[in-house]
């Protein structure tokens, strides 16, 4: 009897040990399941939202080099991940629960599954049950076609508590009987030619997303040209530190659209007339966008810009059409006066301080778009002056590319560049403005803000490191030479080399600028 009891106890202990060993090793080997006879039957893997915490819409594994890569939103539980194995007709073969906290899993002896998750906020978009889809949006190069669906912004509780954000925000209260609580259309010009594209987002409800102010319009910037994924963030922050009016806010996020991981994006507040963006009086003051063709853009009489394509101006968010002619005449008159070298009258029509500060931000970064595309100014009617800003399109900075047909160098951190372009070329012919630019730099606040931004680059990079790794698994572009010659000089195709170039380039740029004033 004692022997029998001892045998039962030992059997129970042994069973427990076997269970613990199996549980611990489940991240490496998962038991073959009867639904799939062998690995060749598995054509895809689906992560269903209704069986996984922290996931708002179904996700699909991304196949690369014979492996299944599962990219997860930041609130997903990797230790208990329920997945469906799919056949080549997208029919479920088997349901598995996996512990992916170790990052890798081997199914049926040969199916390699890897899971990744960053700590960035996640943006999940679904067009299921709505109208249109991502293909609909990306097929329209004019960015007029919208797709309708739903959107969820989420982040880990710790990150939300630290920043005062909501952990989960939805574009509506998840009433999926509606046709769609958000809409999306394309965004961008030359960057639209890239596979990783930018988008404009419109919410049904006005919301304060990630403490960027209340709005129903947002922009998802792909940062496709910028392999560091940091340039817009660095320069938007610099503009804010320098006191540029209406500096846009920006947050780095992981983007998922209809189950497909799309990479690291910059979710930014849209430049518009609004109390949380450009806070001016509609129809009295005016917001202008320069150098962008389109149905609302008007050609300028002056010839300050390099070609007819960019020699235009658009009055933004103009609800009172009766003042359109007046708004355009203000902008056109200013450009004519800037072009007229026989007079300094243009100086009385601008806020020289804002123009000088804006100049230093553009010159510091050697922005190839500094005077030709997506430039914003604001006319303040009571003052009778044009203010420069807000900043936008800062991804083509710090030697990210070598532009064609430019008289000056943009690749290296030495020499002046922006002051020889378009309207700044004319402005620097006025001694009063040139002295103002020197004064702004010498007094030290802009210079100190630049130093601070340079120092913050390693910290900004570390904050997105795991997300950047995911991004470049999804978009294998670090070795591609087009629009990016940095790796020829760094002799390294890694993301770290890209970040190092940005950091060193801006450090050397600041040192060179300081040397000019010693």
Predicted confidence (pLDDT) per residue in 281-301, tens digit: 999 999 999 988 888 889 999
Do residues 107 and 217 share a domain? no
Provide the domain limits for residue 95: 24-117
User: Would you say residue 38 lies in a domain?
Assistant: yes
Q: What percentage of the chain has pLDDT greater than the value 90?
A: 71
**What is the per-residue pLDDT across 179-223, written as a single tens digit (0 to 9) for each?**
788 999 999 887 888 899 999 999 888 889 999 988 889 999 999
* Most trustworthy range by pLDDT among 475-479, 483-487, 508-512: 508-512
Do residues 140 and 228 share a domain? yes
Report the candidate in 376, 372, 333 with the shortest Cα–Cα distance to residue 354. 376
pLDDT above 50: residue 27 = no
Domain boundary among 247, 269, 291: 269
User: Would you say residue 236 lies in a domain?
Assistant: yes
User: Average pLDDT for residues 31-57, to the nearest whole number?
Assistant: 83
Residue 357 pLDDT class (50, 70, 90 cuts): very high
Report the candidate in 148, 150, 156, 139 with the shortest Cα–Cα distance to residue 253. 156
Residue 513 and residue 364: Cα distance in Å, rounded? 8
Do residues 81 and 208 share a domain? no
Residue 397 and residue 111: Cα distance in Å, rounded? 42
Q: Could you tell me the sign of the dihedral formed by the alpha carbons of 265, 255, 373, 352, in that order?
A: negative
Domain boundary among 117, 144, 164: 117
User: Would you say residue 227 lies in a domain?
Assistant: yes
274: Cβ–Cβ under 8 A, 6 or more apart, which residues?
Answer: 215
Q: How many CA atoms are closer than 13 Å to the CA of 397, on its beta-carbon side? A: 31
User: Average pLDDT for residues 469-494, to the nearest whole number?
Assistant: 82
User: Would you say residue 34 lies in a domain?
Assistant: yes
- N- to C-terminal Cα distance for the chain? 96
Q: What three-state secondary structure class fits 247? A: coil
Q: Please report the pLDDT score of residue 37 as a whole number.
A: 65
Residue 324 parent element (H or E): helix 324-339
Do residues 129 and 248 share a domain? yes
As a whole number, the mean pLDDT across the chain is: 89
Do residues 152 and 253 share a domain? yes
Q: What three-state secondary structure class fits 142? A: coil
Q: What is the dihedral of CA 420, 425, 431, 435, to 10 degrees?
A: -50
Do residues 103 and 171 share a domain? no
User: Would you say residue 300 lies in a domain?
Assistant: no
Do residues 85 and 194 share a domain? no
pLDDT above 80: residue 10 = no
SS (H, E, C) 429-493: CCHHHHHHHHHHHHCCHHHHHHHHHHHHHHHHHHHCHHHHHHHHHHCCCCCCCCCCCHHHHHCCC
User: Average pLDDT for residues 83-90, to the nearest whole number?
Assistant: 93
User: Would you say residue 208 lies in a domain?
Assistant: yes
- Which token pair is 86? 């799919």
> Exposed, middle or buried by CB within 10 Å (0-12, 13-18, 19+), for 50?
exposed
User: Would you say residue 278 lies in a domain?
Assistant: no
Residue 3 pLDDT class (50, 70, 90 cuts): low
Q: Please report the pLDDT score of residue 35 as a whole number.
A: 65
Do residues 112 and 132 share a domain? no
- Which token pair is 294? 């389109």
Number of domains, the chain: 2
**What is the per-residue pLDDT across 125-147, written as a single tens digit (0 to 9) for each?**
999 888 999 999 999 998 999 99
Residue 203 and residue 510: Cα distance in Å, rounded? 40
Q: Please report the pLDDT score of residue 276 as a whole number.
A: 85
| Cβ-based neighbour number of residue 390 at 10 Å | 23
Q: What three-state secondary structure class fits 59? A: strand
Q: How far is CA 464 from CA 197, 232, 302, in A?
A: 19, 14, 44
pLDDT above 80: residue 445 = yes
Phi (first) and psi of residue 173, to 5 degrees:
-85, 40
Do residues 107 and 129 share a domain? no
Do residues 54 and 94 share a domain? yes
pLDDT above 60: residue 26 = no
């Amino acid at each position: 009897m004692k022997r029998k009891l001892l045998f039962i106890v030992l059997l129970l202990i042994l069973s427990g040990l076997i269970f613990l060993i199996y549980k611990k090793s489940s991240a490496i080997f998962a038991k073959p399941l009867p639904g799939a006879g062998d690995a060749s039957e598995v054509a895809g893997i689906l992560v269903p939202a209704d069986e996984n915490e922290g996931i708002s819409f179904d996700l699909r594994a991304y196949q690369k080099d014979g492996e299944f890569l599962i990219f997860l939103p930041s609130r997903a539980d990797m230790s208990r991940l329920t997945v469906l194995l799919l056949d080549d007709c997208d029919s479920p073969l088997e349901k598995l629960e996996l512990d992916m906290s170790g990052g890798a899993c081997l199914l049926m002896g040969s199916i390699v599954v890897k899971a990744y998750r960053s700590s960035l906020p996640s943006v999940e978009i679904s067009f299921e049950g709505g109208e249109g889809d991502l293909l609909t949006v990306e097929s329209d190069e004019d960015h007029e076609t919208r797709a309708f669906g739903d959107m969820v912004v989420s982040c880990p509780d710790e990150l939300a508590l630290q920043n005062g954000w909501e952990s989960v925000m939805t574009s509506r209260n998840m009433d999926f009987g509606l046709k769609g609580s958000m809409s999306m259309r394309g965004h961008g010009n030359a960057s639209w030619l890239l596979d990783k594209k930018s988008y404009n987002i419109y919410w049904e409800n006005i919301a304060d997303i990630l403490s960027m102010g209340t709005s129903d319009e947002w922009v998802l910037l792909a940062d496709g040209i910028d392999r560091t994924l940091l340039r817009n963030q660095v320069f938007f922050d610099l503009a804010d530190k320098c006191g540029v009016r209406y500096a846009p806010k920006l947050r780095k996020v992981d983007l998922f659209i209809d189950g497909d991981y799309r990479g690291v994006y910059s979710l930014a507040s849209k430049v518009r007339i609004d109390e949380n963006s450009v806070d001016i009086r509609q129809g009295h003051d005016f917001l202008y966008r320069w150098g962008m063709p389109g149905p609302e853009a008007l050609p300028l009489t002056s010839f300050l810009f390099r070609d007819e394509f960019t020699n235009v101006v658009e009055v933004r968010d103009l609800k009172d059409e009766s003042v359109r002619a007046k708004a355009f005449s203000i902008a056109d008159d200013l450009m004519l006066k800037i072009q007229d070298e026989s007079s300094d009258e243009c100086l009385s029509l601008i806020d020289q301080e804002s123009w000088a500060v804006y100049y230093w931000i553009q010159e510091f970064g050697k922005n190839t778009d500094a005077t030709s595309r997506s430039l914003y100014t604001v006319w303040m009617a009571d003052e009778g002056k044009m203010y420069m800003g807000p900043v936008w399109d800062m991804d083509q900075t710090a030697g990210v590319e070598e532009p064609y047909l430019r008289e000056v160098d943009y690749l290296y951190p030495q020499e002046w560049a922006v002051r020889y372009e378009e309207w700044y070329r004319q402005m620097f012919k006025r001694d009063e403005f040139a002295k103002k630019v020197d004064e702004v730099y010498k007094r030290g606040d802009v210079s100190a803000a630049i130093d601070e931004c340079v120092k913050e680059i390693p910290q900004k990079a570390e904050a997105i490191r795991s997300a950047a790794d995911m991004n470049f698994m999804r978009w294998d572009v670090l070795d591609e030479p087009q629009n990016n010659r940095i790796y020829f000089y760094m002799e390294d195709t890694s993301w770290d080399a890209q970040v190092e170039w940005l950091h060193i380039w801006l450090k050397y740029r600041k040192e060179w600028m300081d040397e000019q004033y010693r």
